[in-house]
Structure formats: structure tokens, C-alpha cells
Structure 1
């Protein structure tokens, strides 16, 4: 094969020599040197590359080509174009001329530009200069909001004089128009070109309110843009405050909702109202909650689920509680025929408690349910002594009958004696333990001693003695006795803080006293800074956290945790009937709300007629230190109201408590780090932006105690840190940062996001990086038709 002389035509001076051996012929004075170089190369059969920038020299070399033949001299007039085609591996359309490629450093830039987005040369240019939606063969109507979000008018304005950009933009618009005969889409494209900002604003508005009736929508959509109601595009519920007047939108929605008077709403209408709600505004949620609270029969479980889904990313823990308490559970059947403890356990845990606690949460009264409670209390009192002798699920027998096997092994056992904890919060505590990756292997009801007081129940639990109750039990000594029985070292801890301070050892028994729940429930809820459910949640989370921290420091000793409450409690409104007479003539040793101590002498003075109001507990018969009067029904010896809880009585809420067992296995922990993907592709200067992420957990257990933080110092945001209690197994959570401002004059920013979390007691952290484009604020004055 004969060596070639290659001459590159470069009249526009855009080709850079790729090596120092390439000759450059810049003007006529270089002609003689170029002529002799070509002759020498032909004679010596050498390879020669030459860049010729002078047209007279080029014409002379073309004559030499005709003289010596193209097999010896090859002249490349379109080298720059061919070089670009070679780099991007695609053909440049014929309507793109050489001059269109000049002056934009395209050859160098093309090395960095993405060539993997699909499409031809036009799509290659537009997707790299603007956004990926220009790769679509048809106008991206389905994703029009994302398309507009990513469109940077500042970039377009800066390229107005770019011949290449203008040609391919015009070609793309014409192609989109040819792809459709739909008049609405053609109109949409025309408005996209002539009035982009108003089109963007109206579509963004409709995106927030499309669920509402047409009369409201028509007030917020400009007349010229009513046709967008007939467009089929994805709604995302984002509040684009860079383009919208959100206060105006909220004002119109609130006015519309306020025309719907609560008293006038029928059951058939509530479904339509809930469907209409956008799910984008908290005031909508508050509005519907107020309606349903007035009449819970308006809603069913399907509508409740719709509300939870719509407002998932807006409502907090207290709001979710409100939702959960809207619909009453199934009403319990009459327990009149029940005559064994197991039958009562089954009825109470499967029927009664759910309904009773729903009544309590909603401050409602139900005389029939109160009578059911009285049936249980009377049965319990009549059968109490027999139950203590024959049943295993009673407080004095729990250690031996329910924990005996575990105590006989060499595993470590932690018992938390929760003061004042009934079935109301049992599932919540299980959920908190589950989020820390504990398995709940035991949940069963146990019967408290009566009266339902602390010293009686904790004393009999630890003494394992039914009829000998010490008024001031020595918990340290009682724990030591249990340890000796099971050949374990035993330690009594008076507070849970001491568990945190202790070194957890193998084959040890730790018995922890926890009193804070009792204190919280006895407090006046009207004077508390936060709601009772929220404070109970915080208390339970604190308990689990300390337990978890303590177990994490054991080098993975096999450990089981048991929750054993001493008694429960009940909230008795002042309106509930109370027929207990005064005690002016009786010497009360120690008074309580639901039970009182009296002397032997005064016990004999109790009138037979008064026994309709309370049970008489003779210390000689029941083996307690004192004689007690225990209020029947929901009567009480002191005034009560809805602001606090009391105990000492025989109601199911006071005497039936859950025994819970938990364990955890941390061996061979494998984790897939969470997938954090950014939904927002760009932000704008000089406005408050919204940045959205999706965080996916692909693990079989929850990711707990998650912290997501924007780490860029040049970003301002009222709250740069978001916290998630947990992301459940195989679930994805939406994370939204609002009112983000950028103090950066560049066109892009590397967004840094720090994520930390806990998985199966192991802590992890990872920094994620995302490239985010920075765009200018939209302006009315720019017309995209200028590019056509």
C-alpha cells in the first residue's frame, strides 16, 4: 500500500495539529516550503500530514493532486465534520454546514458530551445543552412538568446566536409537530414557544388542584389555558413556588372547602370530598379530620386508607393517631356467658380492649361497654382466690411459669418492670422493638393482683408468693433469691439509667424498675406541653434505646428481654356516674382514687347497703397487709376527669396487662446500602427551591434512626437535616427539602448529601454526590420563537 500525503483544508483556522510533525501552511509565504515538502514525501515514499489555511495554497496543492493522483495525495475538505462524526459515532445531517460547527469549540466539547442518550445528532446536541427530554421522538406530554422543570431559559438565551443550536432546535420542534395531528398538542407546542412561563404556571397550578371540581379549577386556570384539563400528563403534587402564587391557590381552596358546612355533609358526599382533596396541603387534612370527628360514621376503612396515603408525607405522628382513632373497631359481643380466665383473656384481647381504648381516645362514653367491664370485675372478685391457686398467668407465678425455661439456660435475661402499662400501648412497644430489629416471641395477657397497686404486684411478682404481700418489699433481696433459684447472678436496678451504666454479663439476671410511665399517666394532660400519645411514644422509645445500647455492648451475648407491667390504669371522666357516699364516719388509713385502706374496726362499720358501690377485701381472707375497699363499676373515692389516669380498681384496663418477650440475633449481618436517588434535576437562582429524593431500603429489616443532611455550605435551607425513625424493609420513602437557596454563580453544583442510619445495631454512614444544574429565574420577556 502506497504511503499517502494527507492535506487538511482549514480555511477557518479551527484544526489543531495533533503532533509536532504536522506541517502548517498559514499563508502564501509558506507555499514554497509546502510544495517541496510534498515532492520530497512523494520521492522518498514518506507519510506527510499538512494543514492548509490559505486558499491559494490549497488550490495549488489541488493541482498537484491532479498531477500525481489521489492515490498519492489525499485532500480532506470536510475533515472537521468527519472528525466530529468519528468522535460522537453518528452522522451529522446535511443541513448542518461546516460554518455551523465553527466558533463553538465543538470538537473539544464533544469529547465530554454524553453520546449514550439515544437518538441522532439533533438529540445529541439538544440533550447535552438543554435536557434529556429532547431525545423524545414526540413532544413529552406525559412528563411535561419534569420537562419544564429542567428547561433552563438562561442556557437558551446564551445560545441564541449559536447557528448549530438554532438549527437543531428548529428541526426538533418541526419534527414534534409532524409527529402529531392532535390539535391540543399542537397548541401546546405553540404556547411552549410563545408563552412558556404562563404555560408552565398554569400546568403547575392544575397539577395541584386537578382533583377539585371544575368551578374551582376554572377560577385558578387562565382562560387561554383551559385546554390543559384535557391533557394526559403525570401529576406529582409538587408546589413549584418558583413559578406559582401558592397563597392565592391556598386561599381559593380554603374558601371552597369552607362552603361545605359540616352539618350539611351527608355520608354519600364525604367520599367525593375526600377524592377531591389534593393531598398537597395540611389545611385540607385538618378540614377533613374536623368533619369526620363530628360524625365518624361518615367514613369507612377504604376512605381512611385513602387519607393515609394522600397525606403520608405531610402528617406527623399525632395526625396518624387522629386517623387511627376515627373509625370505631367492631363492637364487642356480650361477655355474660364467659366463665374461665382464658375465655375472658380471649374476649378482652380480641374484642373489648380495641373498642374500649377507641372510646377512651375519643373521650366517648358507652354505658353498655361500662356494664361489660363491671361483669368482668364482679367475676374476677368472686373467683380471685381460686384463680391465684389454679392459673399460671397470674402475677406471682409469672417468673416460674413463663420465664423458668429461659432462666435455667445460661443466657442473659433482662426484665423490665413497667409501672402502669396496659394493652393500649403494647403493639406500639412491639413496633418500636421491631424497628430495632428485635423479634417479639411472646405476647400474652397476665392477671394483676388486686387491688391494682404497685407494691402488691411488684412484690408478689418477685417474691413468687401469692398470699404473703410485704408492704415494703426488699427488691434487692427478692432478686437475689430468684438468681439463686436458677443459678444466676441477679441484680436489681432501681432505674433504667443504671442498666445503661452496668456491664451486661453472660448468665446474669437484671431486673429493672421503670416508673416514668406511671408518672406521665398520672400527670394532668391539660397542662402538658405535648400530647399524651406523643409523650408515651417518647418514653417507650427511650426505654428501647437504652435496652438496645446496653445489649450492643455485650459482644453479642445471647440476651432475652421481658416486659412485665405491674398493673394498668383507666381514664374516668367526671361525667361518668359515681355513687360512692362520703366517709365522714370511717377512718381511711390511705385514700386512693379506686381503692382505699381501712382499719379492722372500721371494716365492721361498713353498711351493707354501701356494698353495692365497692368490693370489700378482707386482709385475713386475701392475704394482703390491709383491708381494702375497691370501687365497683367506674366509681371512685376521689374526683377524676379526662386529664389523667388512675388505678387500684378491678376493671380490665387496670388488671389485665401484657407479658412481652423480645430477642435479637445480630450474627452475620449483611446490608445493602440504601439507594438514594434525586428526583430534582435542577434548581434556580434567586428563588426558594424544593429538592426531592427517594430513599429505598432493599434489606429484609428496617433502617433505623436515619439522618439525611444537605452538606453543601453554599446552600441555605431552614432545615438542612431530615430525620426518619425508620424506613421499613423493602420500602421507599420520599424526602423533601423546602425553601433551598443557592449562593453559587456557577451553572452546576455537586450536591453533597450525608446519610447515616442504624441497621441491626450497626451504625453506617455514606456520602452521596449528585450533579445539579443551576438555572436562572424564569422571565416573561423571552420568546422561544426567536430560535425558529
Structure 2
């Protein structure tokens, strides 16, 4: 018969083993005979059986009995007794409670570690107890308290665990989170981190994990109180909080809910703040209450025109398309026609020496790769309008947490704004009349190809193009009452495909994802098909082309306001055909019907397209910041700010907060720092800090990324105080005596 082996206190017991339990609180081990009386002891003492002897007097007698016979005995201890040795703060009753959860007959002190006990008490949270100190782990620690209800005995062990994690944490801000050793402290820290309790904690990094639905509901209730008390401006204040994108979106939705019910407090500043985080439908419902200002006159310089389009024209156009009257329609028409003239005057020159047309940007990208270890995957969406961009960015953020938006900008589409001409120009990096003579710029995948599998064996230094038929196809063929849902569905599927690309390209390769469109769309859901064409002309939407002959002026185009079209000399505008393009909001055709959101024309929203650049696993930038200044105590002074952006991500310096003992001032900045650039600017600061406190001030600089996320940097500013007059304590010195 094989020998039975049991391990006690790290030692191996055999058939001859005698166990003594003088305290009488250890369960009888399996295969041992329980001895509780003198009679039983005398009967089995020399039997050679495995004996478990219980009781202090009986154990003392047995120990002396076996000692005289040189027979080895072992004293065993209960888990509760060992627990009190390791955790002396436990009462006897608390130790017994924990011992029951450990569920062992006897243990050694070496087995009773903090992690061992917590794993026995809360086995479903093993990953928390075995984790290392970090921001994510600390966030999980705070949430754990809010969804669990530990007993007083368990709280003692949890307190030991928190102290251990605090000791191991490298950063002071993380140590602070581990000081939460009860539900109230944990809730306060978590709520201050997430902007639900003041004073807010702004020096932490972005909250790193999801919230359980129960806590999210509680958080939203707390937020709503701030939203109501601030009359909706809390969302603007919260831009400096380290909220992840999913929580910022939740806050935007709450804010929009409040504003729908309180439209009298709505202004453009709040609306612009929440715009990137809400749907087009919500935005449209709110915009009817706050018409944007009429755009200023069209600027001359290209970059200024793109900024004018984004910040002035498009907000007004979006409002006018839904709620405007005839007067606002005429304003938009005049602005659009001014833009069309401006564009047509410059476009022929751009063909020769420009860099702002999408096909030129692709050609430059192909001939000047940024890094031989980078794969650039270009997604060419067919006809994605400007009003779908923010929604699509939301979808990408929700689908992929590995893509960081480096750049959100705009550029000019190829003319005419029709897929047949514009898309091939993009893929080959030349104007339309040269596409038959040029090879593709890179590996090109058709719309019906899922790129994930193709990219598993991809080589670095390559440019890949994925040409899609959506959302253009949905805009042309979806039923009008289902158009918005269809477009949204198609964009979401594309976002999911992009996530597959992110996963499939090997991790050792740097991956950039570039998203643009071959053309935009007219923001008009009922564009009449009423412009006539000649027999030898082809047309699509708002553009028609053919071999018709005209005598064109030197500029290469002629506007016929009576017929409401403009004609272009094709050779001068980079195409093989002469063009006729709508000058108003109509389409070509005689069907007495309407077309929803057509394209082919020259309105800004048809010609200007997005240029979105992402990088996989991009690091948060580490800008180099200098703040110096001089001013008179309690009066005005000037700050001189210098920021170097060493990254490829466009940064916006939103605010600077100066704080110290009895001093706090917030300065609105709103300065853009382009990639790999240095930006310098000066700001007034009133009141200037006192001389006694100026050396102890901290400057917190709040930056926003193109994807809407924020991060902060803290530095010590170099500030000086001008002293115009200082009274001496020496009266005789004052009097020159």
C-alpha cells in the first residue's frame, strides 16, 4: 500500500505522524483519527495510526508521552490563530470569519499573505490582487470599492493591500489614489477625477478604463447637477478634465439634453464645444435656436479660405439648409459664387505649381515617404460630405483605441467634383487628363476587397490605397427616409474594416491611416434637376461635359448667369473635355424631379474635402514649454509663452492655469501649435502675483488633440515682480541720517 503524504507547515507527514491541536480550533484532517479523551488516547497511542489529538491537557500529556519514546509530534495551528499573528488588528471573531473563507484545515504563516487572503475572500477579482501599481490598476481599485461591500474584517486586509500598492507606486499622483481605504474616500477621489465632485483633480492622466453601468448612471446624475447650475457651460469647463472620449461623449449628450429643454441659455460657444461629440441630428435640433453669424467676406489666401470654410461658412450653411429662409439662402448663394470665382481664378495656376489639391498631396506623399519603416494606408471614401466627418471620427474612436488622430484638416478636390474624374486623379497623382498615361501611386485595393488579409504580409515603406464606393452609393440610391441611417451604417462598417487593418498589420511596423474623399456634396436635400444639356454632352449631378466648342476668355471660364451655369475650357482646367457646371443649386436634367445632396459643382462643400491622418499606437506628445513674464504686484503684467511641438500631432493650447498659495488665475489661449513647430505668443495677466508667492507658482497648460482628447503639462514659470517703491524698515536710512 503506498504511503499517504500530507504537507503541514511545509513539512511532509507520514503514516507515523501525530498532530496536536491544543487550542481545539483546527478541523480534523482527512485520514487522521480524532482523539479527544484519555481513553481514546490510551487505545491508539501506540497503534501506529495517524492521530489528531485535540485539547490542551490531552496534548500536553501526549507530547510528554511521545517525547519519552522519541516519537516526533507536530503542533498545528488554525487559520484564525495564524491570521491574528499576521494581522494583529483582527479580533478573534474577525479572524474566524476570514478563516472560514480561506477554507483550509490548517495553514502556516507563510501561506497567509495579503494577496492570498484577498484571493480567498474575493476570488473573482484575482487580477486586481495580483496586479502591479499603475494608473489603470488604481482606477480599478477605486471602482472596486464602489461596487463591493467588504466586511470590517475584510477592510483590515484591504487597508494593508492599499498601503502596499501605495508604497510600490512610483508617482505621487498614483499614490494618492491608493490612499482610498473605504467607499467614501474612493468615491470622492473617483468623482473628483471624473469631474463629478469639486475640487476637481486635473493633474491626473486620462481615466484609463470603462465604468460599470451602475457607476456611469451615478456619474451622469452628478454631472447633470453641474450642467444645470452652470446653465450648460459646465461642458466647456470640463474640457480641462482628464476624461476619456467615451465619457466626454456622454457628457456632451447630457449637455445637449439639458439644452434641448432650456434653449434660452444656448449660445454658439456651447454648441461648438459639444459639436464633435454629438450626432448631426442632435446638432441640427440645437442649431435652430442659435443661428450662427453671417460669414465674413471670403479671404484671399488658401489656408485662410479653408479656415473660413470650417469656422464660418459651413456652420452657417448647415443652419441655413435646415432652418434658413430665402434671405439666408441668397446669402449662401452669394458666398458660394464668390468662392467659385476665387477657385476658378486660381485653379489653373495650382495645376502647375500647387500643393493643395488632393491628387497633388497624394503625389507628394508617394514621392516623399516620411519613414521607410512606415506603411501609409490611404482610405478614399467616395463622396463623403463634410457634415459626416465628425460622426465618422466618433465611429473610429469607438471602434479602435489604437488610432490617434494626428491631423484634421481640409484640402481642395480635383475638378470636376465627379468620381469619374476625381478618383483616378487621386490614385495616380495627376490631373484627370493625364490619368491614362500614369501608373498607380501604390498598391490599390478595390471597394469589394476586405484589406485585412492582404495586409498581414505587408512590407514597410509602402503606400496602399483602398478605394470605396461608399458613402456615395448610399447617397445616390438609398430611399430618402432611410438615407441618414443607411449612410451611418455604411460608415460604421468602414470604421470596423479600418480596425481590422489596425489589427492585421504587424505591430513592429509603424502604421499611418490617411482618410480623405474624392469629392464633397451639395448641402441641399432637394436640388432640382432642371439645367438643360446639349445632345453630345454627358452629365452627372451638377456637372456636364462634352466636345462642345466655345470661345473662352483668357481666364478659361465664362459665367452665364442667365442660364445659371459656368463653362470651363477643359484643357486649362486639367481635363480632356469642356465643362458646364451649375452656378446655382440645381442639377442637370429635365426630369422635374429632385436629387438629394448631389455633387459635381463648385460650392465650397462640394470642392473642399477632409484630410484625416491617424497613427497607430501614437504616444502623447511631450511639448517643451517655457513661460516667462514680468509685471507689477496686484496690477497687470505680460506672459511670454514658448511651446515646441516635437510630435507629428497638431496641438491646440487651450488654457494656462497659474496657481499657488492664495493665488489662481486662468488664461484662455486657444493657440494652434502645428507638428514639428515652435509657437510663441504673449498674454496679459491681471492681477500679477505678489512677490512673496511668485516663486512658488505652478503653471498648468491644457492641450487638446485633434480627436478632442485633452492632456495637461505642468511647469514652474519664471515670473518677476516689478517693485516701484519699497519702504525701508530703517527710518534713519529713509531720512539719509
In the superposition, the TM-score normalised over structure 2's length comes to 0.46
In the superposition, the TM-score normalised over structure 1's length comes to 0.44
